[in-house]
């Protein structure tokens, strides 16, 4: 209900705000095993990038270590 009131007020006053949200996601392998070496890393990164394109997600950065990954994602 509050959201609908905000939309009504924004349309009435012709004022729209711009919001950009960034999510910093961090995940690791089970038991922090160092299994994300070059070949598995390439496969994982390709999968993440393809999935992001399909879902229209803008990935700012992907980084990490053999036991973890970090990803900066913009939600527009």
Low-confidence ranges of the chain (pLDDT < 70): 1-17, 76
Domain ranges of the chain: 17-75
Domain 17-75 top-level CATH class: alpha beta
For residues 11 and 73, give the distance between their C-alpha atoms in angstroms, rounded to a whole number: 29
The predicted structure's pLDDT at residue 14: 61
For residues 48 and 61, give the distance between their C-alpha atoms in angstroms, rounded to a whole number: 11
The predicted structure's pLDDT at residue 12: 60
The predicted structure's pLDDT at residue 68: 85
Residue 73, both tokens = 């994602």
Name residue, tokens 């229209």.
56
C-alpha angle 53-54-57 in degrees, rounded to nearest 5 = 50
As a whole-number percent, the residues of the chain with pLDDT over 70 amount to: 75
């Amino acid at each position: 209900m509050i959201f609908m009131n905000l939309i009504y007020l924004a349309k009435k006053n012709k004022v729209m705000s711009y919001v950009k949200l960034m999510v910093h996601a961090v995940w690791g392998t089970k038991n922090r095993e160092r299994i994300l070496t070059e070949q598995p890393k390439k496969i994982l990164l390709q999968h993440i990038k393809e999935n992001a394109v399909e879902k229209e997600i803008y990935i700012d950065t992907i980084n990490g270590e053999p036991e973890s990954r970090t990803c900066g994602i913009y939600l527009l």
